[in-house]
Amino acid sequence: MLSDRGTRPLTLLLVRHGQSEWNAAGRMQGQTAHVPLTDLGHEQAAAAARELGRLRPGALISSDLRRALQTAEHCARTTGLGLSTTAALREQGYGVLEGRPSRELWDVVDWTDPHWSAEGGESLAQLHARVAAYLDQLREHPPADVVALVTHGDTIRAAQAVAAGLGPEAMPAETPRNGTVTRLEIGA
């Protein structure tokens, strides 16, 4: 869980990557690294970058997966910030299910069990723990008072639960849309 070190709150601007080719095709992405943005995804990334420009973050950190990096590059150009990456911001890993059509998985995945994972994948509980550890690290050693994190839908939902003091079983059901910015205060 989040540390109570320090007295200043940390503002996170969580950017969900723009639409990827696999989003458009309805394929499960997880931690598949090579999936690029579509033309619409680049437009969404540019719009998110403009919003970040207005919000003026002091640091920019991205998942190291291609769709997030392409989004973060738009953000870096618009804000003038340097870009660093971390695997801690990756999407939930779906192991052997990655690349399969999402519609085929409704009968395979137990979406209600936070400890369920596909072979070679990661459970929601593991995702939640990874995100909690990373947010705790950011809180202890913030690179700025306002930090933009370019990441993925399930990772954002995990961050929202962690910031609210909730466990993986209580992650928000709604995933932010591609190319949106979600503001989150931690340690306030």
Coil, strand or helix at 68? helix
Q: Are 143 and 156 in contact (CB under 8 A)?
A: no
Element holding 16 (H helix, E strand): strand 10-16
Active-site positions read 17, 91
Residue 80: count of CB within 10 angstroms of its CB: 8
Tokens representing 96 are 């052997």
Distance CA 41, CA 127 (A): 24
Q: What's the Cα-to-Cα distance from 11 to each of 100, 112, 141, rounded to whole Å?
A: 36, 30, 13
Coil, strand or helix at 147? strand
